[in-house]
Chains A and B, each alone.
Chain A
Amino acid sequence: QKEVEQNSGPLSVPEGAIASLNCTYSDRGSQSFFWYRQYSGKSPELIMFIYSNGDKEDGRFTAQLNKASQYVSLLIRDSQPSDSATYLCAVHTNAGKSTFGDGTTLTVKP
Chain B
Amino acid sequence: KAGVTQTPRYLIKTRGQQVTLSCSPISGHRSVSWYQQTPGQGLQFLFEYFSETQRNKGNFPGRFSGRQFSNSRSEMNVSTLELGDSALYLCASSLAVGGDGTEAFFGQGTRLTVV
- On A, residues with C-beta under 8 Å from B are 31-32, 34, 36, 42-46, 49, 51, 88, 90, 92, 94-103
Contacts and interface: CB of A to CB of B under 8 A. Distances in A.
A96 B48 contact: yes
Minimum-distance CB pairs A-B, first 5: A96-B97, A102-B42, A100-B43, A43-B106, A97-B56
A63 to B, nearest CB: 12
Contacts, number: 58
A95 B56 contact: yes
Main secondary structure of the interface of B (DSSP, over half): strand
A45 B50 CA distance: 21
14 contacts: A31-B99, A32-B102, A32-B103, A42-B108, A43-B107, A43-B108, A43-B109, A44-B90, A44-B106, A46-B105, A95-B56, A98-B33, A101-B42, A103-B43
Contacts of B43: 44, 88, 100, 102-103
